[in-house]
Structure 1
Amino acid sequence: MTPSASSLPRYARITGTGSYLPPRRLTNAQLAAELAQSGVETSDEWIVERTGIRARHFAATDVACSDLAVEAARHALEAAGRQAAEIDLIIVATSTPDMVFPSTACIVQHKLGVAGCPAFDLQAVCSGFVYALSVADAMIRTGAASRALVIGAEVFSRILDFKDRTTCVLFGDGAGAVVLEASDTPGILATELHADGSHVGILCVPGTVAGGHVTGDPLLKMDGQAVFKLAVRVLDEAARAVLAKAGRQEADVDWLIPHQANIRIMQGTAKKLKLPLEKLVVTVDEHGNTSAASVPLALDHAVRSGRVKPGDTVMLEGVGGGFTWGAVLLDL
């Protein structure tokens, strides 16, 4: 007896990727020169040695997070051969939304010229895209959606303390997106998500809006050493857990695309998984840490450069404030 279409397994596959970087590119030397005017000393050598970052992009003051998201979304839609009207779910992962509410996803939906489908933001900081992709995968598998637009977009330059050289040199602005569609062929193989709120204090922006005023500190704070130690451990654990769920081995991974925060964390993760560094996708050198945008940005650049190809097995990983972390294993 032939099974009906409704009884066949339902999967989610990435059918298009896209990204966008604001035009203003700032090298380490340029940033150091600007910081020196405020009495903050740093150098290209100091930044590269500790992070692997050589440049980042900053958005203009009149450019919103949603503007970056829309450009990345349009590129992903074009790659997938889809129109915005065909999308029935929009998720934007961001920690730097346009406003308190409504969601940046709703603003993106409007700027794309469509209406009706569910649209919402997801806040898991640098793990945001991995979380959002996992949510979209679950909704597609259950039939709640068929074509999702999943976006990571950030304007972290708005929340940096440019008097703190240990953090202001790390971050950049940008957006990345994917179109995720229902398929009878497995695409996303497994996901793994975690959080531990006991680590709130090591990476946070401890401010909010109350009574018409900003209360607390609205700029990013980070304990770099604590974040480093935690990130290396949990990324390794998440990678092994998602491989076990999918019934795959480390050797099955063609490409590792981790959150682009620090080259030493990324290389440490690859080594723990016994993956050659040639399988590690790196964009942190040119983009800096773009938080929720970093994984889809790196994925799109790897796809468009021809490195990551259809049929490749890719592991995406994220770790960020919360503390949150997770991994997604997929066949492209």
Structure 2
Amino acid sequence: MPVEEAVRGGLVDAELARRSEMLSVTVADGDEVPAEMAVRAAGEAFRMAAGGGTAAGCHAEDVRLVLHAALFHQGNELWSAAGYVQRRTIGNTCPAIEVRQVSNGGMAALDLAWRYLATSPDAGAALITTADRFCLPGFDRWRSDPGTVYADGGTALVVSTRGGFARLLGLAVVSGPDLEGMHRAGPAHGVGVRVTTRPVDLGAHKAAFVAEIGMARTVNRVTEGQREALRTALDLAGTKLTEIDWFVLPHFGRRRLQSNYLRHLDIGLDRTTWSWNRTVGHLGAGDPIASVDHLVRSGAVIPGQRCLLMAVGAGFTWSCAIIEIDRRLHRAG
């Protein structure tokens, strides 16, 4: 959906839209549950893996772990979206686990898969999926979190011990539980309270948290956590920031992206996927996977280049990963 259309339809205030500098957002049709979007993404990921993405090829029957990450409601209560993805994709009996790390879910799942495969080299492969659908009455994609436009969509990634189109050189996940109160009602460091109002209003929660804790203290803590994740990932990868060719950042609006990332990294938009991100929107846990896929499919990234993936999730958690592109990825058939 074009942002201009949303403004004309009264879905978003014109000034809020202007500040975000977003052009459009992906909006799901019909009543499709998010997990089905993940299933379709997984099918494409397996086709890509079998069609030249790995030296030996990777197939659904090689998967020994399924991790499904999501931010919002998956369509049914007391239901395993991870089990649904498993049944609809590989149909085996390996562990299928849902990862709830909010917008950091995709990277958290990658960290878990990486560690699982490192200790179980015979496991072969892990399937990571993400999917979300942000809709009323529970969530207002335009207003629930001012500064970020939330998008519908699913992503998938196959992680293998047999090689692939890219190698994971280093990954770090850092937690900051002293900031968890920023995304809920109640005292910042007190007992949480149940909220029944809809839609979600993250802007109000953040404002209340900052009013109690202070803006400077909050900003410094967020910056500190992000820097720790970045420093740790670079050290694990044996890489310097100056050796990074592409920066894969969350699909935030322009102002939030500038203040949270571009300013600290001292980079321009041309080294990010912003020109594409602004036509898609924030895919919840799926931003890093989707952006890497875009870089590979578009041919923007070439073998030998290194990409820095960064993510952040309410809670608070920060993730950074460094990957090196080994080969171009081609479609099966």
1:310, distance to aligned residue in structure 2 (A): 3.3
- CA–CA distance in structure 1, aligned partners of residues 185 and 43 of structure 2: 30
Shift in CA distance, 100/30, structure 1 to aligned 2, threshold 3 Å: same
Asked whether the 8 Å contact 2:64–2:125 carries over to 1, the reply is: yes
Kindly indicate whether the alpha-carbon contact (under 8 Å) linking 2:140 and 2:199 is maintained by their aligned counterparts in 1: yes
Q: Secondary structure at 1:219's aligned position in 2?
A: coil
Percent identity, aligned pairs only? 23
Q: Which residue of 1 aligns with 2:13?
A: 42
Native 8 Å contact 2:111 2:171 kept in 1: yes
Q: Which residue of 2 aligns with 1:70?
A: 39
Aligned residues: 294
The one of 230, 235, 238 equivalent to 2:226 is 235
> What one-letter code is carried by the residue in structure 1 that aligns with 2:244?
V
- Secondary structure of the 1:278 match is helix
Q: Secondary structure at the match of 2:303?
A: coil
RMSD value, Cα: 2.9
Q: Out of 235, 238, 242, which is 1:244 matched to? A: 235
SS of 2:273's partner is coil
What does residue range 291-330 of structure 1 map to in structure 2 within 5 Å?
291-330=284-323
What's the counterpart of residue 16 of structure 1? none
Deviations 1:122-180 (A, max 9, x none): 01111111111011000111116321111121112353147947649721111221111
In structure 2, what is the equivalent of residue 18 of structure 1? none
Report the CA distance shift for 1:152/1:310 in structure 2 as closer, same or farther (over 3 A). farther
Cα distance in 2, alignment partners of residues 193 and 322 from structure 1: 12
Change (3 A) 1:104 1:196: same
1:211 is matched with none
The farther-off stretch of 178-187 and 256-265 is 178-187
2:25 maps to what in 1?
Answer: 56
Alignment of 1:25-40 (within 5 A): 26-35=1-10
Match of 1:19 in 2: none
* Residues 162 and 311 of structure 1: CA distance in aligned 2, closer, same or farther (over 3 Å): closer
Q: Is the 8 A contact 1:90 1:105 kept in 2?
A: yes
- The TM-score with structure 2 as length reference comes to 0.78
Q: How does 1:219-298 map to 2 (within 5 A)?
A: 219-223=199-203, 229=219, 234-268=225-259, 269-282=261-274, 283-298=276-291
Deviation at 1:240, TM superposition (A): 2.4
Say which SS state the counterpart of residue 216 (structure 1) adopts.
coil
Task: State the secondary structure of the residue aligned to 1:238.
Answer: helix
Quick check: 2:151–2:283 contact (8 Å CA) kept in 1? yes
SS in 2 for 1:55: coil
Three-state SS of the structure 1 residue aligned to 2:278 is helix
Q: CA deviation at 1:274?
A: 3.6
Long gaps (5+) in structure 1: 1-25, 207-213
**Alpha-carbon separation, structure 2, partners of 1:167 and 1:267:** 15
Output the TM-score relative to the length of structure 1.
Answer: 0.78
User: Residue 231 and residue 61 in structure 1: after superposition, are their counterparts in 2 closer, same or farther (change >3 A)?
Assistant: farther
Q: Distance in 2 between matches of 1:67 and 1:107?
A: 8
